[in-house]
Amino acid sequence: MVRMVGRVAFAVAVALFVVVAADVGGVASAQDRRQNEPGQFDFYVLSLSWSPSFCEASGERGTPPQQQCGARPYSFVVHGLWPQYEKGFPEFCQQPAPRLDRNIVSSMLDLMPAPRLIFNEWDKHGTCSGLAPRAYFETVRKVRAQVKIPDAYLDPKQLLTVTPDEVEEAFVEVNPGLTRDAIAVTCDSRRLGEVRICVGKDLHFRPCPEIDARACRRDKVVMPPVRGGSAALRR
């Protein structure tokens, strides 16, 4: 009797495993059909990198890239415009990626001050937009143009100590329609890294809970100053 009960329990367990595995497989398949399919995403994230933080961190690791970290001063630069799912994101949606025209690369250097950055962003994220290269980078420029940088962060000559909340609130105050659940600040162990702003496919600001959940949780961070001259990116 004990042996029979054991066999029945084992059979039930196997049956449950098969059902669960089938369900999980069905979910995975549903996700896989959409995964990395160009044009199939829910919204964009505009990532604005605080260039002085990037250059300082790059210098600590070795030689920073000269295009971005040379004599010309930069404040916020465009890291990228990233297609996103509500949970997760696509990447490298066309391999090999369609080649970029050098004229397109040159036209974006005022916003993304390194050719290697532009090529990498196209390969990893731009190919997931479903847009041709020129249309994608025109969209990058259009989204960047509608985001105003708060005056305090245009050209600081001294190191700033800020809270992530202060930075978010400053952006919200000068960008009508932008809400706190549509923006997130990232950081490393002590420096502000990026400001990430979510927009829909219609390019209007929209909430993005998963992006907001990955925001910097430090009480305070520093923003290294812009080096000499006037900030290259103003609006």
The catalytic residue positions are 79, 121, 125
Per-residue b/e over 212-232, b at no fewer than 16 CB within 10 Å? beebbeeeebbbbebbeeebb
* Residue that has been written with the tokens 């937009």 in this structure: 129
Q: Please name which of 36, 76, 110 lies closest in space to residue 185, comparing C-alpha atoms.
A: 76
Task: Say how far apart CA 44 and CA 125 lie, in whole Å.
Answer: 10
Instruction: Give Cβ neighbours of residue 40 (< 8 Å, ≥ 6 apart).
Output: 34, 90, 130
Q: Parallel, antiparallel, or unpaired for β 160-162 and 221-223?
A: antiparallel
CB 211 within 8 A of CB 184: yes
Q: Where do runs of H (alpha helix) occur along the chain?
A: 2-34, 51-61, 66-69, 102-107, 115-124, 133-145, 164-174, 209-213
Whether a cis peptide bond, with omega within 30° of 0, leads into 96 is yes
